[in-house]
A and B are shown apart, each in its own frame.
Chain A
Amino acid sequence: MENIIRMEDVSYSYYDKFAALSEISLEISEGNNFAIIGANGSGKSTLLQIVSGLRYPSKGRFLFREAEVSERSLRDKGFLKSFRESVGYVFQDSDVQLFCPTVLDELLYGPLQLEIGEEEAMSRAFEIMQMLNIEHLKDRPSYMLSGGEKKKVAIGSVLTMNPQVLLLDEPTNGLDPKTQSFLMELILALKEAGKTLIIGTHDLSLVDELQANVAVLSEEHRLVKIGKAEEILSNEDLLLRVNLIHEHVHRHGQAAHKHIHSHYLFHRHGAQNRR
């Protein structure tokens, strides 16, 4: 399949002082699912914001369907429209993303920007509310929603634009298990629907479930490996090195032992690890 996203030696730093990304090169083809994993502060959100055209690389190039995305190219009306129609970004902090007076306004904002007729926009909004079980919230302002509801509305507000590429920044962060599982089902359904999903996360169970291609970012903001989920998740040395799993010591009665630990995938009490 054709490459929809290509990054060539992309670097980014905040305030010209703090490096966030260092010489990242990667390619993502259409319909592919991609997870960007790394510890806190490794640059996942920055990378996603560059892919969504909200920040521009300090060095290197980012291409969408082989057209360079830059501050300059996004000033072209035609390009801006096709880019924003194609790429939707769900922020990590839903509070920031929701800026309309009510949930319904939030869901209608994107389609109306796309100049979709009011009737069609309204129908999309209601279909999405139905899918996300948030119909009862339609007249509520966003600051009166719970964390899980906010996340659903934030995702819904992007889905009503029907983007081909969906960027999700830490989608399961801070959600209760029921909402997490709902979200997981939604992501899998969107995958089935043929969307290109790019997820920034350190939730390894999400990566495992999605069976995506995985790019691993180090704490030095470099891309250390790209591979299939299975290959990456079985590479304990790599995950230890980038601080996605850690060695954990605890006691069972009188005996203390040590093992590799992640809250999702690895909690093996192998005999070889006993101390």
Chain B
Amino acid sequence: MANKIPSFLLVQSTAGSTKRGTGRVKVPFLERGIDHLAGVIKNGYAQWELSSQNGFFQKIDARVKILFLLLFILIVSLKRELLPEICIWNFVLGLTLFSRLSILRVYKRVLFLGFVFGFLIALPSAFNVITKGEIILLVARLSRPYYFWIYYIPAEIGITREGIYGVAMLSMRVINSLSLSFLVLYTTPFPEIVRALKVMKVPDSFLIIITLCYKYIFIFSKTVEGMYLAKKGRMIREDSNKKAREWIVGRLAFTFKKTQLRCEEVFKAMVGRGFSDTIRLYGFGKMRTADWFSGAFLFSMGLLFLLI
């Protein structure tokens, strides 16, 4: 082997010293993207970690929690007043606290998603162009009203009391639905959720798809992160955005091929262990008295909110 060693390998690398001072490397968009991806994995682990903590909601049977989620999302959608929505928000906040979840971690996401998918989407409806009513904040004054096709633009454009109320209602509904979903997700390990859905007669094909998707996302994220680290290990200068885009596009096809092969292997492993077309899970044990009491408590709170 010694004779075969290429001569260039016997030459000492020119990088003898750790030179500095020829400018800074910009963190490319790609790197930020990979950081984000790593964050997704991290949060997945964190979810699993938090799910196994010993809080109030973690102790409740997954079936009760799934039914609670469905019931409360229905109630949140049915209510037409702001007061019950605020009461539900407070109730969920209390449950989150009792479950020893990090309020900051949960509500950072809830409020961000609520802002984007609730407030921002509903904001235009606060204007009198869409929602007629009493103007409480004048934004613009035109010389005359305009008629355009089926639309009417009044001379005074502003935010109406009714519009603001509508925006607040929609934002609260989105925030409440998100808080409820995050509460259940953060307190229930993923396999428990799948088992609860199975017991509730959700079709197997749907369960197979979400289970495999969940696993696939983690494997895929790790593969992509590893691939990026390998590139970083051999990357000397920053890539231009164009080059970074080319790399991503090239790697998409490559990763697709790799994951396709992995999928085939996983499927063969499943078939090899007797998989036909149904998920067979070992059944849930009987619900404990504490689960019945918790279920009854949550159900009565739901009824209370329905009556407010």
Chain A interface residues (CB < 8 Å from chain B)? 15, 17, 49, 52-54, 64-67, 74-86, 88-89, 91, 93, 95-99, 101, 109-110, 113-115, 124, 127-128, 130-131, 141, 143, 157-159, 161-164, 185-186, 188-190, 192-195
Contacts and interface: CB of A to CB of B under 8 A. Distances in A.
Interface string B1-42: 110111111111111011111111101000000000000001
B223 interface: yes
A15 B46 contact: yes
Given A15-B46, A131-B5, A189-B5, A86 B15 contact: yes
Interface stretch (B80-88, B254-262, B297-305): B254-262
Contacts of B46: 15, 17
A85 B14 contact: yes
Contacts of A95: 223, 258
A194 B10 contact: yes
Given A15-B45, A17-B45, A193-B10, 11 more contacts: A54-B233, A77-B22, A81-B236, A84-B234, A113-B234, A143-B258, A163-B13, A164-B12, A164-B13, A164-B15, A189-B4
A130 B261 CA distance: 29
Contacts of B227: 96, 99
A189 B5 CA distance: 7
B4 A131 contact: yes
B132 interface: no
A79 B233 contact: no
Given A15-B46, A96-B226, A113-B237, A86 B13 contact: yes
Given A76-B24, A96-B226, A114-B236, A17 B18 contact: no
B172 to A, nearest CB: 33
Interface centre among B1, B10, B232 (most CB of A within 10 A): B1
Contacts of B12: 164, 194
Interface string B221-237: 00100110111111111
Interface in B101-120: none
B49 interface: yes
B250 interface: yes
B251 interface: yes
B233 A83 contact: no
Given A76-B20, A124-B6, A143 B232 contact: no
Contacts of B11: 162
A77 B18 contact: no
A162 B13 contact: yes
Nearest to B38: A15
A98 B233 CA distance: 12
A189 B235 contact: no
A77 B24 contact: yes
Contacts of A86: 13, 15
Given A78-B20, A99-B227, A157 B234 contact: yes
A190 B5 CA distance: 8
Nearest to A97: B230
A12 B103 CA distance: 26
A127 B11 CA distance: 14
Contacts of B232: 54
Given A77-B25, A99-B227, A143-B258, A82 B5 contact: no
A52 B233 CA distance: 7
B1 A75 contact: no
A47 to B, nearest CB: 15
30 contacts: A15-B45, A15-B46, A17-B46, A49-B229, A76-B23, A76-B25, A77-B237, A78-B19, A78-B21, A79-B18, A79-B20, A80-B25, A81-B236, A86-B13, A96-B226, A97-B230, A99-B227, A99-B231, A109-B234, A113-B235, A124-B6, A124-B8, A130-B4, A131-B4, A143-B257, A162-B13, A164-B15, A188-B1, A193-B5, A194-B10
Contacts of A186: 1
Contact of B13 (A52, A85, A127, A157): A85
